[in-house]
Amino acid sequence: MDNKEELKRSLAEEEQRAKDSLANVEKMKKQLEELNKKEVEVSATGCFLKQLDYGKNYFYISHTNVVSDYMFTQSSDKERFNINNCFSTREQAEQEALRREGQEFIRRCAMLWNKGNDWRKALVEQKFHIYYGCGLMIGTMSSGLSYGNICFDSINLAERCIAELKAKYNEEQIKTIFGVI
């Protein structure tokens, strides 16, 4: 008799585990579907990855670096989409506008302060670039190309740019400028 009762109890436990497992499988399927929807539509920076339907609202950054919203209707909207300038939220568009503004600020400082050297075209002997590690830091580029980094002729110029960045932007804005999330 004990064996029969024990078998019934074990059977009931196994049935409950099977029900729980099926519920977990369904829950995971739904989560995966939601993630797939998000991945297909919007990138990590908020840019739409597929062309928008006519009439859908989006945010874009104008040529003056101002964020505006618009309804997708015409060829200019298609051009904005093609250059990754259609964002799903105002906040994402504002972060990208800030990143562009900050990077342009650094580029402008280097172009104005360097002694006629254009790091984009010439091989560099030793140049200094700014990056974000545990805060703003200065790295060196030995001889060769700048590999896309904005370079300064001296460490003093790089330090001066960092000081001006810190005066102009707060820490969170600086992280956004350098793509640190």
pLDDT, tens only, 87-129: 888 998 999 999 999 999 998 998 889 886 666 666 656 788 8
Q: If you average pLDDT over residues 80-84, what whole number do you get?
A: 81
Q: How much is the pLDDT for 46?
A: 72
Examine the pLDDT at 32 and tell me if it is beyond 60. Answer: yes
Residue count of the chain, please give it.
181
Contact 48/86 with Cβ under 8 angstroms? yes
- Supply the pTM of this predicted model: 0.66
Place of tokens 């703003």: 136
Q: How far apart are CA 120 and CA 58, in angstroms?
A: 34
Across the chain, mean pLDDT equals 81
The percentage of residues in the chain with a pLDDT greater than 90, rounded to a whole number, is 18
What confidence category does residue 1 fall into, taking pLDDT thresholds of 50, 70 and 90?
A: low
Q: Which of 22, 104, 23, 24 is nearest to 61 (CA)?
A: 104
Is the pLDDT confidence value at 49 over 60?
Answer: yes
Indicate whether 134 pLDDT > 90: no
Indicate whether 155 pLDDT > 80.
yes
**Would the pLDDT of 162 be above 70?**
yes
Element (H, E) at 109: helix 90-113
Checking if the pLDDT of 140 tops 90, the result is no
Sign of CA dihedral 124, 125, 130, 134: positive
Mean pLDDT in residue range 47-75: 81
